[in-house]
Amino acid sequence: MTSTAALPSGSSLRVTLFTAPKPFVGPIDVIQRNALGSWRELGEAVEVLVIGDEPGTAKAAQAVGVRHVPEVRRSAEGTPLLSSIFEAADREASFPILAYLNADIVLLDDFLPALDQVAGRMAKFLIVGQRWNLDVPEPIRFAPGWRQVIRGRLKAEGRLHPPTGSDYFVFPKGEFSHLPDFALGRSGWDNWMVFDARRRGLPVVDVTGVVRVVHQNHDYAHLPGSRPHHGQVESRRNVALAGGREAMFRLRDADWKLVRRGPVRKSWSERGFLRMLEADTIARIGPGKGAQITRMMFHPVHTLGYFVSRGLRSLRRLDRPEAGRTRPTEEGES
């Protein structure tokens, strides 16, 4: 893993970081304060917006020294909506580059240089990447050398998360000012971000190779039933809003990557040749029947299994006795 050590000399990059945190209670309070503190440590090149009115948010934002934007719309279940969060960030941001981050993410000093490399070469883009999982149960003391301490722990204990989704999204202001009403913290919307950027022709740049973004491990006490977001009602709704399973793009579907010398196109072998053809086709035609047919063509085994299971269900329904029908009584029975 390589990383850039510092923001290039003379860079004029300015970034607005924004997030919508969970309530500042219990262990997540420490985790989120660690995250916000690490963002402020990036200096005057960034501003930080904390969006939402969860318990403890205003007090935490004031303590860390970041801006608080309390107004946010919610779903029928009371979950903050990504559309409202992104609209607020686009409206309130002072800087031309926006970066949404989950509120449990610690940033090190390789983050801004990576953004600078991409923004210096591309007018439009979506930057994404994998996270590194690490247990950080205690408050981080932002004293000299704290980043070296985190890097040492990452080397010893950290685990790179699979490339299924991204915990951060960076893009020029105005590119994602209007999102569907996705529920925050549920499945599907992060996959849609990659799909939508590809559909609109924005280069999607995976910066995993040069950036270590630290995700602080936590439980799921904030979710219904304390269960992961997969399978939640609002997760299924998110997938439907995104346009269905065909729109569930992953980091593998990013068409660019960042290396030391700058952004370069991914090779077909990195993306997987068949998946590359499938994703490129779906991105070109958009969601709907065409995308569904494309997916069926590229996954014949799954398609066959689907139709076989449908046929079996139909046969079972035909074979099932009608409600209320009784077996005829044989002669002599009573």
Whether residue 240 contacts residue 181, with contact meaning beta carbons closer than 8 Å, is answered with no
Residue 93 counted as domain residue: yes
Give the residue, 27 or 12, on which the prediction is more confident.
Answer: 27
Average pLDDT over residues 21-32: 95
Token pair in block for residue 201:
């022709």
Task: State the SS3 of 231-253.
Answer: CCHHHHHHHHHHCCHHHCCCHHH
Task: Write out the DSSP string of 56-101.
Answer: THHHHHHHHT-EEE----B-TTSPBBHHHHHHHHHHH--SSEEEEE
> Domain check: are 197 and 308 in the same one?
no
Query: Which CATH number does the domain housing residue 234 bear?
Result: 3.90.550
27: helix, coil or strand? helix
Task: Please give the mean pLDDT across all residues of the chain.
Answer: 89
pTM of the predicted model as reported, rounded to 2 decimal places: 0.86
Which residues are within 8 A (CB) of 177 and not within 5 positions of it... i.e. 6 or more apart? 86, 87, 90
Opening angle at CA 270, ends 108 and 202, nearest 5: 70
Domain count, the chain: 2
pLDDT at 224: 53
Phi and psi at 44, nearest 5°, equal -75, -5
Do residues 161 and 251 both lie within one domain? yes
Structure confidence at residue 332 (pLDDT)? 42
Task: Answer yes or no: do 55 and 169 share one domain.
Answer: yes
How does DSSP classify residue 238?
H
Query: Per-residue pLDDT for 1 more than 50?
Result: no
Task: Write the burial class of residue 303 (CB in 10 Å: 0-12 exposed, 13-18 middle, 19+ buried).
Answer: middle
Q: What is the pLDDT of residue 311?
A: 73
Residue count of the chain, please give it: 334
Do 302 and 160 share a structural domain? no
Residues 262 and 298 in one domain: no
Tell me which residue range forms the domain holding 258: 15-268
Over range 228-234, report the average pLDDT.
69
Considering 232, 250, 268, which residue would you say is the last residue of a domain?
268
Residue 66 sits in the same domain as residue 176: yes
Q: Are residues 300 and 255 in the same domain?
A: no
pLDDT attached to residue 321:
61
Q: What percentage of the chain has pLDDT greater than the value 90? A: 78
Residue 81 lies in a domain: yes
Task: Answer yes or no: do 262 and 185 share one domain.
Answer: yes
Give the model's confidence band at 305: pLDDT under 50 very low, under 70 low, under 90 confident, else very high.
confident
User: Of 172, 139, 174, 163, which Cα lies nearest the Cα of 14?
Assistant: 172
Residues 151 and 230 in one domain: yes
Please write the tens of the pLDDT for every residue from 153-170: 999 999 999 998 899 999
Question: In this structure, which amino acid lies at residue 182?
Answer: F
Span 39-59, average pLDDT = 97
Question: Quick check: is 35 in a domain?
Answer: yes
Say if 273 falls within a structural domain: no
Confidence label for 230 from pLDDT (cuts 50, 70 and 90):
low
Q: Does the residue 220 lie in any domain?
A: yes
Q: Residue 315's pLDDT band (boundaries 50, 70, 90)?
A: confident
